[in-house]
């Protein structure tokens, strides 16, 4: 990882427009993010593959020794990607959730909420779909959102993931005076009047 950071730091940045955020798949779960310039893509990809291979070997060795690794959690979607990228001392810097203020959290949440509601309103069904559900953190409780695994749900996953992270971070700061109430388990998902409907266990 030090070699990757050295590679990125080796190039002076004069315009943020020459850079983009590189999303790199981790070997186990989630993504890692890096400022990236087109001129260093090949070197980065080589170094990242070497890093992944090293991590893979460590995981496989741990499994052989009896270490149990937690599976990736898909009940909640989380989006830990950078909020934005800026130039600092002629080098690109990724700005993450912990780098911004709670006031900015509150500005971002309504926009994300509108996108989630728009997605929900557009959901339709014929009765032949295979639905899955993910949970949306709402502070003192949670709601459920339907999606189809055989469809591209990349964008809504990013939106919900960002929303969840912001709500969790805001709750940890504001500490609302309530006890968290998880959503009941799903009993069934049916198609009613062309809309997928969740029935919860009582």
Give pLDDT tens digits for 137-178.
998 899 999 999 899 999 999 999 999 999 999 999 998 888
Tell me, what's the pLDDT at 20? Answer: 97
Mean pLDDT of the chain: 92
Q: How far apart are CA 183 and CA 77, in angstroms?
A: 15
Whether 24 and 31 have beta carbons less than 8 Å apart is answered as yes
Average pLDDT over residues 115-143: 93
Structure tokens that stand for 147 in this block: 């999606």
- Between 21 and 179, where is the model more confident? 21
With a pLDDT cut of 70, the percent of the chain lying above it is 99
Predicted confidence at residue 115, as pLDDT, reads 98
CA distances for 30 relative to 18, 124, 138, 149, angstroms: 26, 29, 22, 17
Task: Give the pLDDT score at 178.
Answer: 85
CA dist., res. 182 & res. 91, Å (int): 43
| Distance separating alpha carbons of residues 201 and 34, to the nearest angstrom | 43
* Closest C-alpha among 137, 145, 136 to residue 170: 137
For the whole model, what pTM was predicted? 0.84
Percent of the chain whose predicted confidence (pLDDT) is above 90: 75
Residue 121 binned pLDDT confidence (cut-offs 50, 70, 90): very high
Would you say residue 74 has pLDDT above 80? no
């Amino acid at each position: 990882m030090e070699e990757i950071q050295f590679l990125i730091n080796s190039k002076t940045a004069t315009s943020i427009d020459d850079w983009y955020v590189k999303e790199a798949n981790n070997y186990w779960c989630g993504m890692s993010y890096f400022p990236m310039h087109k001129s260093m893509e090949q070197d980065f990809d080589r170094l990242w593959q070497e890093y992944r291979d090293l991590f893979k070997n460590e995981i496989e060795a741990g499994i052989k020794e009896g270490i149990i690794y937690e599976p990736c959690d898909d009940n909640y979607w989380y989006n830990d990607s950078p909020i934005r990228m800026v130039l600092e001392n002629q080098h690109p810097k990724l700005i993450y959730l912990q780098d911004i203020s709670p006031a900015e959290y509150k500005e971002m949440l309504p926009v994300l909420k509108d996108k989630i509601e728009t997605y929900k309103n557009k959901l339709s069904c014929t009765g032949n779909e295979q639905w899955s559900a993910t949970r949306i953190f709402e502070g003192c409780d949670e709601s459920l959102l339907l999606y189809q695994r055989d469809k591209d749900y990349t964008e809504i996953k990013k939106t919900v993931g960002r929303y969840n992270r912001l709500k969790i971070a805001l709750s940890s700061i504001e500490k609302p005076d309530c006890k968290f109430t998880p959503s009941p388990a799903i009993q069934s998902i049916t198609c009613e009047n062309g809309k997928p409907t969740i029935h919860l266990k009582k």
